[in-house]
Amino acid sequence: MSKHLFIKITYYYLVFQTVVLAMFVVVLSKSFIPNINFFIIGSGSMSPSLSKNSLIITQKQIIYFKNDIITFIPSRPSTFSTLTHRINSLGGNVYVTKGDANLGIDRSLVLPDQIIGSVIYTSLLLGNFYLFLKTDLVLTVLIYLPALTIVYSEIRKIGHFVKIQHHQSIYK
C-alpha cells in the first residue's frame, strides 16, 4: 500500500470517526425527538432492574400504570435533577414511586406534570460508552485531535490551491 493511499484512508477514517462519535455525544446530550429523552442512571436505587450508568430512553405517555418505570422531576430538592423510579401505587391524579433497591416508598408524591416519560429502552453498555466518551481525555483524543487534524489538513489544501492559483496568475 502506498503512503499516499494510507494517508488518505487514515484521513477519511478520522473524519468518519469524529463525526460518528460527536453525533453520538450530541444526540444523547440533547433531545431532538419530541417526547423522547435520553438519561444516564446516576445511582443504584433501581438495581437490579436498572444499573447505575445505564442509558435509558424515555417516552412521554398519555397514562401511566402501576409498575411502570418513570423518569420525573422531583418536587423536593435532590442531588439529581431527575429521578427514575417505579410506580408503586396510584392515587387519583398522583403517583407513589419507589426505587427497586430502596426499602421504602419515595417521600414525595409525583404529579402528572412532573413526569418526563416512562422507560422504553435501557442499555448499560451504551451508558458506559457514553460516559467514557465524555471524559476529557477521550474527548481530546477521539474528537478534538482528529477534528483539529481535519481542519489543519483542509487549511493546507486551501493554501496549496491558493498558491497554485497565484503561480498561474503570475505566469500568464
The tens digit of pLDDT for each residue in 114-150 reads 999 999 999 999 899 888 877 888 777 777 777 788 8
What is the location of CATH 2.10.109.10 in the chain? Answer: 36-128
Which CATH number is 36-128's, of 2.40.30.10, 1.10.3210.10, 2.10.109.10, 3.40.50.2300? 2.10.109.10
Give the pLDDT confidence of 90-120 residue by residue, as tens digits.
988 899 999 999 999 999 999 999 999 999 9
Q: What are the angstrom distances between the C-alpha of 148 and each of 10, 65, 144, 151? A: 14, 50, 6, 5
Q: Which has the closest alpha carbon to 55: 122, 9, 108, 140?
A: 122
Ranges 7-11, 119-123, 149-153, most confident: 119-123
Whole-number pLDDT of residue 30: 66
pLDDT confidence bin for 165, thresholds 50/70/90 = confident
Q: Which H or E run includes 43?
A: none
Whole-structure pTM value: 0.69
